[in-house]
Amino acid sequence: MDIKNAFLNGTLSEEVYMQPPPGVPSPPNKVSLCSDGYYLSQVKYASDLLARSGIIDSATTPTLLDSNVRLTYFNGVPLQDPTLYRKMVSSLVFLTVTYPNIAYAVHIISQFMSNPYIIHFTAALHVLRYVKGTLGHGL
């Protein structure tokens, strides 16, 4: 479905699932009609991300990043396998489409993709715990 033009040609009364172009492994976004207009949410995507990260049973946090933590390129112990960190941060970048309030925190943690340390991974988990607490939010 041509989503760009679909909203220009009439009233939308059903849920629409947008799919990325072939070859892009992202799940669909959910668009539905609410009383004030359109509501865009990535609840399923965020829930799957939380499950993949293993923090389904973790507590939520009301803040994005601890203001006392200063992330630098040489903070502590490097991660042995940065693959999970890279996947997690890449997924968070995609999630900023419907969670623009996490954009700055994701920008900060994405600076360490090439050489992440444990403190960077901990910061990414903190952002995920914030997302967990705000799953019902959307645009």
Nearest to 48 by CA among 56, 59, 57, 60: 56
Q: Are 41 and 30 in contact (CB under 8 A)?
A: yes
Amino acid at 47: S
pLDDT value of position 65: 82
* pLDDT for the residue 3: 54
- The span from the CA of 121 to the CA of 136, in Å, is 24
Position 138 scores a pLDDT of 80
Stretches in the chain below the pLDDT threshold 70: 1-14, 16-37
Residues 111 and 72 sit within 8 Å (Cβ to Cβ): no
pLDDT on residue 8: 58
